[in-house]
């Protein structure tokens, strides 16, 4: 596995070694020693799987208590995956990282606790798997509105188009009004 630091050093792109031949492929998607050596020494306690249609945008989600780190990967289709630093004490506070994750490129994105997370489905549909470092707590869940002008996330959405959003995501708060981490 190769661990690639981004402009926000705690957010890491993970590229697995892929062994491919005429029968298909094999790759290791998680290995505790390798992750720990790259600074991802967390215990994962929950796996999640979602399927979404094209133009769906999920996010920007986080938990104010029981903050979750996430290792995100796509097993079918393609998404634009986003992590936003919402740690007030961080030098990268309010900055975001966005990368394409797909079944084809087999990349993963490590998003540590203290970040909001979201993704936009680029392909006809996509299936996303992610490992989380803490359990889901609906009472602690918060949402920042996807198109917050302060954050200016570069979503790959055509001008004039609107993504498909859940009622929860439509009701997201502006970054300036959101509960964040100190």
Catalytic option among 62, 117, 120, 130:
130
- For 4, half-sphere exposure in the C-beta direction (CA atoms, 13 angstrom radius) is 11
Catalytic option among 61, 62, 117, 120:
61
Burial class (CB in 10 A: 0-12, 13-18, 19+), 62: buried
Is 32 in a helix, a strand, or coil?
helix
Q: Confirm whether 49 is a catalytic residue.
A: no
CA 132 – CA 143 distance, rounded (Å): 17
Using only C-alpha atoms, the chain has a radius of gyration, in whole angstroms, of 16
Is 35 in a helix, a strand, or coil?
helix
Burial class (CB in 10 A: 0-12, 13-18, 19+), 86: buried
CA 68 – CA 155 distance, rounded (Å): 23
The answer to whether 74 touches 102, Cβ cutoff 8 Å, is yes
Q: Confirm whether 66 is a catalytic residue.
A: no
Active site residues: 61, 130
């Amino acid at each position: 596995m190769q661990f690639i630091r981004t402009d926000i050093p705690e957010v890491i792109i993970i590229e697995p070694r892929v062994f491919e031949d005429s029968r298909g492929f094999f790759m290791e998607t998680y290995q505790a020693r390798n992750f720990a050596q790259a600074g991802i020494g967390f215990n994962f306690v929950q796996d999640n799987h979602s399927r979404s249609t094209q133009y769906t945008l999920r996010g920007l989600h986080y938990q104010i208590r029981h903050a979750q780190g996430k290792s995100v990967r796509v097993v079918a289709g393609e998404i634009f995956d986003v992590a936003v630093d919402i740690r007030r004490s961080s030098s990268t506070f309010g900055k975001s990282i966005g990368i394409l994750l797909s079944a084809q490129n087999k990349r993963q994105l490590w998003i540590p606790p203290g970040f909001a997370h979201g993704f936009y489905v680029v392909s006809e549909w996509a299936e996303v798997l992610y490992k989380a470092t803490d359990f889901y707590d609906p009472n602690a869940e918060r949402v920042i509105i996807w198109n917050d002008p302060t954050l200016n996330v570069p979503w790959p959405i055509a001008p004039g188009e609107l993504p498909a959003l859940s009622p929860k995501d439509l009701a997201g708060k502006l970054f300036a009004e959101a509960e964040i981490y100190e």
